[in-house]
Amino acid sequence: MALKRITVLLSGRGSNLAALLAAARAPSYRGAVTHAIANRPQANGLAIARDHGIATSVVEHSAFAAREDFDAALAAVVDASEPDLVVLAGFMRVLTPAFVARYEGRMLNVHPSLLPAYPGLHTHRRALADGVRLHGCTVHFVTPSVDVGPIVAQAAVPVRDGDDEATLAARVLAEEHKLLPAAVGWFCAGRIALHGRRVRVQDARMPDGALLAPFPAPT
Ligand code: GRF
């Protein structure tokens, strides 16, 4: 069976792209990143893609007055890459409903919170301000409303007493780097089925019991 073609959209650092590329080296991985597209020419993720011999494109959002025009130009480049799956990995633009509809059921996003908590920006800062004990990340299908699509997978991390935004972000990012490649791999292997808002992952193992934080010492 041919490998599924993955097009990654990104805006900056590209560490999730790097994690995906590392995972896709496994012989059993059913997908290959074939194209990386950024909305900013200076995005570091473009350099990561080039280092791996992957085609890159830039569609600069600042060159378009209207969001619809940017999305139409972006869709043309995405379509030319002939993806089976589009992955938003740190892509920091809100996409129009028309763009999202075009890739319905074959576009995934990684978001740095346990959705539906903390959609949008500054998730780690907001989690700290609220004093939550568990934070984390989510991989979900993209739907027209931002950060609310069907959830494929989530990873929870504890919020530690000494945390600041940077330490918490780093703990979450380490989980993003595992969760996104895993979810993309399941998609490429045909193991993901959508049932309304609920996603089933074939042959997924689920933890028993609860995740507790803090975990009290025995008395
Ligand atoms: C990640 O935390 C991702 O969840 C968020 O933006 C960040 C991108 O990081 N949407 P990178 O560019 O993949 O390093």
Do 36 and 99 fall within a single domain?
yes
Split into its structural domains, the chain has a count of 2
Do 98 and 114 fall within a single domain?
no
Indicate the SS3 state at residue 30.
Answer: coil
Whether 173 lines ligand 1, by a CB cut-off of 6 Å, is yes
30-71 pLDDT, tens digit per residue, is 999 999 999 999 999 999 999 999 999 999 999 999 999 999
CA dihedral 214, 178, 48, 57 (to 10 degrees): -110
Whether 93 lines ligand 1, by a CB cut-off of 6 Å, is no
Do 124 and 149 fall within a single domain?
yes
Which residue among 72, 103, 134 closes a domain? 103
CA 35 to centroid of ligand 1, rounded, Å: 18
Give the domain range for residue 166.
Answer: 110-219
Looking at ligand 1, which residue's alpha carbon is closest to its atom 3? 90
Residue 26 neighbours by CB distance under 10 Å: 10
Sign of CA dihedral 67, 44, 143, 33: positive
The model's pTM:
0.97
User: Residue 126: its pLDDT value, please?
Assistant: 98
Beta bridge partners of 193: 200
